[in-house]
Structure 1
Amino acid sequence: MGSTMEGTLSTALFGSGVAVRGVLFDIDDTLVDLEYSMTTALRDVSEHLLPGLDAAGWEKFGRIFTHETTHFYDRYLAGELTFNEQRLLRGRAALGHFGVELGEGEESHAWLSEYARLQPSYVRAFDDVVPVLDALDAAGIPYGAVSNNVHDYQRVKLDSAGLSRISVLVGTDSVGVPKPDPAIYLEGVRLLGTRPEETLYVGDNRLLDADGATAAGLRGVWLNRVGETAEGFSGREIDSLARLLEQERV
């Protein structure tokens, strides 16, 4: 593509005229609406255990699983639990809040297997993703994804969401460390063929994505879709990926 298109988009991406040669994205709740897929599948596999639960109850159930039990996922990243073990512990915690005990053995296996089968079918990309990827393609700017999950699982997730065009993908098993270890971001940079200082990293987690990538030498951007407040954050913050394509005015 022509240098004019690339230069114009680079200026829009940074709003400062600094050249952008590559863009890396987080995946979950950045490119794909993981929370929707998780909570929808959770309700499907748990309704028979929680008959009559109202909308507020299902919202609480989903919030426990997706937000209030992430310490189990942290233990998985630390190698203390398998992926299925952390998932099952999170499910048990959510069900336990409503007085339901998920039994050992076949009952747990059936719940876990059905959730694993259904959850990928609900994975979808956010509406602002494809326009950004189209613009990057048109400008000849390479892009990829760096995730705090294993490569093959995230590959299926991207493909299920219609994002197979994202060919560069780094998972925790690709380098043996999770974010915010600099090595995982830098592996993405290496695969893009860019330099850290000219590579944008965009993600929904302020600490792991914006701060972690910046500490690794990339230009971190916090995608704050939900309007979370963060005292003292001085980096770049956007509420939609579409903001990456907007020319900033001073």
Structure 2
Amino acid sequence: MAPVGGVLFDIDDTLVDLHQAMKDAMIAASRPLVDGFGPSDWDAFAALYMADADNYYDRFVAGEFTFAQQRGLRARAVFAHFGIAGFDDRAEQAWIADFEKAQPGFINAYPDVVPILDALDAHGIPYGAVSNNVHAYQRAKLDMAGLQRITVLVGIDTVNAAKPKPEAFLEGCRQLGTRPGETLYVGDNYLLDGIGSVQAGLQGIWLNRTGAVAPSHAEDGRVRRIAGLAELAALALSTGL
């Protein structure tokens, strides 16, 4: 592994525990519309929303829907799956508003984020983030999570490109002032983050917090794997960070 000159991170479910934040916000927004749900029901409700079987979020990234539209469509699919009546246009708009109001209170960085940023700062290694959401929304999310120190941020509207397109990763390198080959990219999505970054010439690191299995059709030995960001510190330090 080449010496590390800089590190770029994905944001959602890499730096910020978005899954938990979305689950908590969904429960807050949905509870007035749902009777008799227990913890396991809410787990299933959130899992179905996050699975996004119809790929509404990816279709938002591709420009087919607005951000609010994809959120409403995903909610409609979940309410329909559970046979919950009354989720009409008015209820959908109210649900989106309640969700957006609730979510900021649940946004938190993972416990291993600040220590790795401290280590990078201590060694003078620049870092930033490249995300498949718009810059302003992700800037606000990082700030809510207490990560104002991450100043380099590339969104899908920064260069009109989303991961895994190389332009997104290369813009992050440009803003860091590092060459792709000396830049680590760390993210939780094996295909978008791991494969996408190595194909753009970066050193790809798959952050697999959940013990997921990589898609067998897309295995690439260039993508390194870690279970937490503490392992990233050890890996980077061993290569001269």
State the TM bucket, normalised to the shorter chain.
Answer: over 0.9
| Alpha-carbon distance between aligned partners in 1 of 2:225 and 2:86, rounded to the nearest angstrom | 41
Percent of aligned pairs with the same residue? 52
Give the aligned partner of residue 75 of structure 2.
91
Give the aligned partner of residue 186 of structure 1.
170
Q: For structure 2, which runs of at least 5 residues remain unmatched after alignment?
A: none
3-state secondary structure, aligned to 2:8: strand
Give the aligned partner of residue 202 of structure 2.
218
The alpha carbon displacement at 1:169 in A equals: 0.2
The alpha carbon displacement at 1:120 in A equals: 1.7
The alignment status of 1:146 with 2:156, answered yes or no, reads no
The alpha carbon displacement at 1:190 in A equals: 0.1
Give 1:1-250 correspondences, 5 Å limit: 16=1, 18-69=2-53, 71-230=55-214, 231=216, 232-234=219-221, 235-246=223-234
Q: TM-score, normalised by structure 1?
A: 0.90
The alpha carbon displacement at 1:102 in A equals: 4.8
Q: 1:102 to 1:205 in 2, by over 3 A?
A: farther
| Alpha-carbon distance between aligned partners in 2 of 1:111 and 1:192, rounded to the nearest angstrom | 39
| Alpha-carbon distance between aligned partners in 1 of 2:159 and 2:85, rounded to the nearest angstrom | 37
| Alpha-carbon distance between aligned partners in 2 of 1:108 and 1:19, rounded to the nearest angstrom | 50
The size of the alignment, in residue pairs, is: 233
Q: For structure 1, which runs of at least 5 residues remain unmatched after alignment?
A: 1-15
Question: Which residue type is aligned with residue 55 of structure 2?
Answer: H
Q: 1:136 to 1:114 in 2, by over 3 A?
A: same
Question: Which residue type is aligned with residue 45 of structure 1?
Answer: A
Question: Which residue type is aligned with residue 128 of structure 2?
Answer: G
Whether contact under 8 Å (2:76, 2:87) holds in the other structure is no
| Alpha-carbon distance between aligned partners in 2 of 1:199 and 1:70, rounded to the nearest angstrom | 34
Q: TM-score, normalised by structure 2?
A: 0.93
Q: Following superposition, which runs of at least 4 residues in structure 1 exceed 3 angstroms of deviation?
A: 101-105
Q: 1:66 to 1:210 in 2, by over 3 A?
A: same
CA root-mean-square deviation? 1.5
Whether contact under 8 Å (1:132, 1:245) holds in the other structure is yes
| Alpha-carbon distance between aligned partners in 1 of 2:85 and 2:70, rounded to the nearest angstrom | 16
Whether contact under 8 Å (2:76, 2:92) holds in the other structure is no
